[in-house]
Structure 1
Amino acid sequence: MALLRIGDTRLLRILHEDLRAARSHDPAARGDVENAVVYSGLHAIWSHRVAYAMWQRPALRGPARILAQFTRFLTGIEIHPAARIGRRFFIDHGMGVVIGETAEIGDDVMLYHGVTLGGRSLEATKRHPTLGNRVTVGAGAKILGPVVVGDDSAVGANAVVTRDVPPDAIAVGIPATVRRRTQAQHQDLVDPTTYIDPAMYI
C-alpha cells in the first residue's frame, strides 16, 4: 500500500466515507465540520490510516509507533499501526478502546468505548481478533485471541468473547454465549418497567 498523501483523492474519499459513517451511526452528529473537529473516534481512525500506511515501509515503522502513541495520548484510543481496518469504520465515544497488532476489521464496523481487541498469547503470530463486515461491538466488550466474529454479528456490552462468533449472531455475557439473531428475535422481550438493565443506557 503506497503512503497516502494530503490531496490524494483516495485519502479524501476515505475521509468523506468516515464522516458519513459517523453521521449514520450517531444520532447526536450534527454536521461534518463539527464532527471532524470534536469526534475523538474520527481523529483516532484518521491518524491510524496514516500510521498504517507508514507501517508498510519498514523505515517508517518507528515513526508510525510514535504517531500511534501520540494519538493515544490525545484521544484515549490505542490502535497498533499494523492493525488492518476496513472502510467506514466508526468508534463512538472512544475512550479506552484498544486494538492489537494483528487485529483485522472489516467494512462498516462500529465499536463503542472501552472495547478491547486483544491477544491471549505472547507468540509472534496471529493473536488478535478478526471482525467481519457490519459488526457492532458494545461498550466494554473484550474480544480476545485469534477469534473470528462473522459478518452482521453483534457483541453485547461487557461481553467477553474467546471463541468464534458465526455470521448473523449475537454474543452476550461472561463468557459470551452465542445465539442467532432470528432466535433472539423470537424470545420474549423484558418489560423495562419491571427490569432495568444498566447496559441499556450505554
Structure 2
Amino acid sequence: MFSRIKEDINSVFDRDPAARTVFEVLTNYPGMHAIWGHRLAKFFWQKNFKWLARSISTFFRWVTGVEIHPGATLGRRFFIDHGMGVVIGETAEVGDDCTLYHGVTLGGTSWKAGKRHPTLGNNVVIGAGAKVLGPLDIGENARIGSNAVVVKDVPEGATVVGIPGKVVKDTNGNADPGDEKRVQVAKKYGFDAYAVSSNNPDPVAKAIGRMLDHMHLMDNKVASLCKEVNDLGGNVCADALPELRVGEFDEDEKAAAKRREHAVESFDPGI
C-alpha cells in the first residue's frame, strides 16, 4: 500500500511543476485524495458491500469534487490534476500513467447494463472539460484536447480536438496535408492563415479554410485558362491580384480599442 502511495506522489512531481514538497502533495492535491478514496471504495465494491462502497465514493466526492464510481478500474500512476468536476463512470477503465484535467467526463451514452464507459490505454492525456462518451477505446499515448467531445474510437498516438472530436494528428504526428496548402494560399492573399485547418472546431476558422481551398482551386483554373488564351495569341491576366493590407484592419481595431478605453474612463458609476 505504501509503495503505491509513494508511486502516486512521484507521479505528481513528474507531471506538475507546481508541486514543491511531499507534505504539500499529501495535503493539497484533491485529485490524488479522490484516487485513494476510490481504492478504498473499490475494495468494498469487490467484497460486495455495494452500499458502503457507494457511500465512500460519495463522501470523497463531497471532499474533493471528483466523482469516481467504485466499479471503475484505474491503472497505476494515474493523475487527476486540479480535480474539480471530474466524473468517471462505473465501467470505465483507465490505463497506467494517464492524466486527466479538471472537468473531464468518462461517461456513458446508454441506460443499458454492461460496458458503457470508455477504456483508456496507457499514457493517455485528456484536457480540461473534455467529454469521452460511450464504450470507446482510446489508444495508448493519445491526446484529447480541452472541451473536445469524443464519441468514436481514437487510434494510438493520435491527437483529437473539436465537437465532435476529430483526429488532427495521426499516429506518426502528421497533420492534415491540406493545412500547408492553405497556409501558402493565405500568404499569397496577404492573410494570416493561423488556425484555418479544416479540422479546427471553430466554425468561423473552418469556413475561412474552405474559402481558401476554393480560392486556390479557382486560381489554378484561371491560370490554366489564361495560359491557353495567351498561347492562342491573346494578352490576358497581365494584372497582378490586388493586395490585402492587413495593417488597415489593425488600424481599425486599434481605433475601436481606443474608443472602448475612452468609454470605460468616462463611465460614471454614480449616474
Task: Bin the TM-score by the shorter chain.
Answer: 0.7 to 0.9
Q: Output the CA distance in 2 between the equivalents of 1:44 and 1:135.
A: 19
| Shift >2 Å, 4+ stretches | 184-188
Pairing partner for 1:116 from 66, 87, 105 = 105
Query: In the alignment, which residue of structure 2 is the partner of 1:155?
Result: 144
Q: 1:131 to 1:15 in 2, by over 3 A?
A: same
Q: CA offset at residue 50 of structure 1?
A: 1.1
Tell me if 1:56 matches 2:56. Answer: no
Alignment length (residue pairs): 182
Is 2:144 the partner of 1:171? no
Q: 3-state SS of the aligned residue for 2:39?
A: helix
**Distance (Å, rounded) in 2 between the aligned partners of 1:185 and 1:114:** 28
Name the SS of the counterpart of 2:174 in structure 1.
helix
Residue in structure 1 matched with residue 93 of structure 2 by the alignment: 104
Spell out the pairing of 1:37-116 with structure 2 (5 A cutoff). 37-58=27-48, 60-116=49-105
Q: Deviations over 1:5-39 (max 9, x none)?
A: xxxxxx11111111111111101011111101010
Structure having the higher helix fraction is 2
Q: Which runs of 5+ in 1 are unaligned?
A: 1-10, 197-202
Letter in 2 for 1:81: P
Q: Give the unaligned 5+ runs of structure 2.
A: 184-192, 196-271
Question: Which residue among 180, 183, 195 is the counterpart of 2:174?
Answer: 183
Which whole-Å CA distance do the structure 2 matches of 1:121 and 1:56 have between them?
24
Using CA pairs under 8 Å that are at least 6 residues apart, name the structure with larger relative contact order, 1 or 2. Answer: 1
Q: Which amino acid aligns with 2:162?
A: G
Q: Which whole-Å CA distance do the structure 2 matches of 1:74 and 1:132 have between them?
A: 28
Decide which structure has greater strand share: 1
> How far has the Cα of 1:185 moved from its partner?
10
Query: Greater Rg, structure 1 or structure 2?
Result: 2
Structure 1 length normalisation: TM-score? 0.85
The 3-state SS of whatever aligns with 1:143 is strand
Q: Over aligned residue pairs, what C-alpha RMSD do you find?
A: 2.0
Corresponding residue SS for 2:132: strand
Name 2:224's counterpart in structure 1. Answer: none
Aligned to 1:28: 18
2: CA distance, partners of 1:156 / 1:28: 21
Q: What is the TM-score of this pair, normalised by structure 2?
A: 0.64
Q: Which amino acid aligns with 1:84?
A: T
Deviations 1:75-122 (A, max 9, x none): 110000000000000000010000000000000000000000000000
Cα distance in 2 for residues equivalent to 1:184 and 1:45: 35
CA 1:184 to 1:36, structure 2 compared with 1: closer, same or farther past 3 Å?
farther
The answer as to 2:116 corresponding to 1:132 is no
User: Matches of 1:144 and 1:31 in 2, distance apart?
Assistant: 36
Which secondary structure state, in structure 2, belongs to the residue aligned with residue 81 of structure 1? coil
